[in-house]
Each structure stands twice: as C-alpha cells, then as structure tokens.
Structure 1
Amino acid sequence: MSPDEQKILLERIGRGETRAFVELVQPFRERLFRKACSMLGSPDDAEDALQDALLTSFRGIDRFRGEASIYTWLYRILVNRCTDVLRKRSTDQVDYVDPSTFDVEDLSDLQKNHELSDHTAYLIQQIRSLDARFRELLWMRYFDELSYEEIARVKNLKVGTVKSRLFKARELLKRRIFQDEKGRNLLGS
C-alpha cells in the first residue's frame, strides 16, 4: 500500500468511516499474526493479542502522527500487547520471549502451509545461539521484514546503530556457520 493510499484511508477514518480502518490494517494482518505467534507460541493467544492490538490502534488512530509507517506503528502496539500477555502469563516474570528460542517443531506448527527446510531449521538454530541483542535484530530484519528505519523506531536506536549491529550479527552468524561442520555441509563448502 502506497503512502498516498494510506493517507486517503486515514482521512476516511478521520471522517468516521470505520471500514477504512479495516482496509488500512488488512495488508499487515498476516505479518502481525506471525509476529504474535512467534512471541506467544500459541495461535489462539496470538489472535487474541492481535485483536486487542488492533482495537487499541483503532481507538488511538487519531494519535498516529505519520512519523513511522502504519505497519511500524501497529507492530509496536502488537509487541507491547504481547509483552503484557507474557507478563501476566509467566510466573517467572519473563518480559519478552525471543521467537528464535522456540523449537523448530513449534515454528513449523505456527507457520501453517510452510515447511521449514533443513537450511532454515539450521539457520534458526544458529541464530538462537547468538547473544540476545543480535538475535532480536536479525529476527526483526529477516523474519519480521522490518526496514532499518522501522527497527530503529521500535528499538529506539539510531539507524546507523541498527546497521552496525546487524552487520556484526551477520558476521557472527557467518562465523558460527563456517566453523560448524553441519553448516559447511549444508552450504556445500
């Protein structure tokens, strides 16, 4: 959806056309659902969190300033909602569950109609072994498909910091893969 189309939909929402909100968020719904699944580990909980996040965003649409994209704004609301759910759910007071910590079998269940290849499963395993700050940025960039600017907004970092940390994360990941025999075999090296 182009920025002009988003602007038109926002204007319609401002005039009280609730259907325009559905049109605005529909293109992002599947990606947001996958993010909620990756954080909560349950499609039912993910759907509930997504509905809550969409309701929150609908009620607060007049506070959307356009500094970020609609997707980034919705993503941040959803992550906050999922974090709230995790806080309530956990007796260990876990604030955030890194999606790469799920077993590959769990990810397979969450990604209906998508089979993980050996390469993907191996890559997730290697990402899981990285330090949390690198793991999270890789996940946001390559699995959640956020731009550098969107990641910077979500994480309250400068774009340059995001780029340099992602560079380091990719280098660390590359080093782990090439040092591992299975990684060299999968890559045909």
Structure 2
Amino acid sequence: MNGEIRLIRKIQRTGSKAAADILIREYYDEIYIYVFRQISEKQSAMDLTQTIFISMLQSISNYDRKQASFRTWLYRIATNKTIDYLRSRSVKSKLVLLVEDVDIPDEAEFARQIEMKDLLLRLQGYVNTLEVDIQQIFRLKFFGEYTFSQIAALFAVPESTVKTKYYRLLKMLREEFKDEYH
C-alpha cells in the first residue's frame, strides 16, 4: 500500500509516466475482468479498460486517499464508465458466438449456455434502465464481487441501504423475468 501511495504522489506531483505505468499494470487485469464480465466483448472490454485508465490518469490529481482507497476510487471510475458505455450503445447487445470461442460439450449444454448468455444480456438491459446508484450496486456486487460493506464504504452510505437496494432489485428482476426462466 505504501508503494501505491508513493506512485500516486509521484504521478500527482510530476506526472511520472513510469509511476503511471506501474500503477496501471498493477490493476489492469482486475479492471479488465470486471469490465469484460459485464460487456462480454473482448475488444470492447479492452477499449473500455483503456478509457478507464485514461480517465483515472486525467483525474488522479483529485484523488484523496482519506476519502477512499485507490482501488475503491478506481472501481468507482470503472463502474461509471461501464454504465456510460452500456447506456451509449444505440443498438442492444447481440449474442455473437464464434466457433473457436465456444466449447460445445453437447447440444443440451450448448443450448443452456446460449440461454444463460441471453438471460444475462436481458438482465443487464433491464438493469441499465434503472437509477445509476442501483446499477452501481448491482455491478459491484455481481461482477466485481464486492461485499455489501465494501459497497457501502465506497458510496459512504449505511450497509443496510445497500442491502435494501440490492434485494429490492433482485425482487424486481424476479418479477420481471418470472415467466421466462425457472
């Protein structure tokens, strides 16, 4: 952690490209996976991850470790950029399967994988229509695997508020998709 703080200070004071490179390499894979889980398109996830780190570098002068850890701050940027990306897409995501990307054990398993992918895309489409704070909670919990207490700390709200919004969302999702999947 001390090394991370030194890197951040060096970037803030001198704009050190070497320090920025080290910091980005430290978090790149983690942020890429977080983004990829949400958009399921390799090239788009790579592009969005790059955009996230550019935004991080542009705003790092405003980072204050007393308000949040760097990781938490970076995930907030990633979550907001992902929401913006998904919102900006004029055409809904289409399921595109390349033969070399799919391991087809049998027809039933293949059909189940397609149904699950379709359900996930439809769930995301539904969640994308909701308030930003609910989207953020959903994405951090589902894709980022954050705990309720971590999400509460990130947004400086009581853990009970996060839980209430998350479980209300789950109830809405069950209601919205009750006739489609068992």
TM-score, normalization by structure 1: 0.57
Would you say how many aligned residue pairs link Structure 1 and Structure 2?
Answer: 158
Give 1:63 shift.
Answer: 0.5
For 1:52, the equivalent position in structure 2 comes to 51
**Distance across 1 between alignment mates of 2:138 and 2:84:** 23
Q: SS at 2:53's partner residue? A: helix
Flag the 1:139–1:30 CA change in 2: closer, same or farther, 3 A: same
Q: SS at 1:86's partner residue? A: helix
> Which runs of 5 or more structure 1 residues have no equivalent in the other structure?
111-120, 170-189
**Distance across 1 between alignment mates of 2:26 and 2:163:** 27
Q: Does the 8 Å CA contact 2:79/2:136 hold for their aligned counterparts? A: no
**Distance across 2 between alignment mates of 1:162 and 1:76:** 15
Give 1:136 shift.
Answer: 7.5
* Residue identity (%): 23
Alignment-mate amino acid for residue 75 of structure 1: Y
Q: Would you say 1:40 and 2:30 are equivalent positions?
A: no
Flag the 1:40–1:168 CA change in 2: closer, same or farther, 3 A: closer
Deviation string for 1:78-137 (max 9, x for gaps)? Answer: 12212222222134xx8xx9xxxx99x99xx69xxxxxxxxxx9xx98xx99xx699985
Q: Does the 8 Å CA contact 1:68/1:150 hold for their aligned counterparts? A: no
For 1:78, the equivalent position in structure 2 comes to 78
**Distance across 2 between alignment mates of 1:22 and 1:167:** 39
Q: Does the 8 Å CA contact 1:148/1:163 hold for their aligned counterparts? A: yes
What is the alpha-carbon root mean square deviation over aligned residues?
A: 4.5
For 2:145, the equivalent position in structure 1 comes to 145
Give 1:39 shift.
Answer: 2.0
Alignment-mate amino acid for residue 85 of structure 1: Y
Q: SS at 2:56's partner residue? A: helix
Q: Does the 8 Å CA contact 1:49/1:82 hold for their aligned counterparts? A: yes
Q: Does the 8 Å CA contact 2:11/2:19 hold for their aligned counterparts? A: yes
Alignment-mate amino acid for residue 14 of structure 1: Q
Alignment-mate amino acid for residue 56 of structure 2: S
Q: SS at 1:74's partner residue? A: helix
Flag the 1:83–1:137 CA change in 2: closer, same or farther, 3 A: closer
Instruction: Name the stretch that deviates more: 20-29 or 31-40.
Output: 20-29
**Distance across 1 between alignment mates of 2:55 and 2:135:** 28
Q: SS at 1:25's partner residue? A: helix
TM-score, normalization by structure 2: 0.59
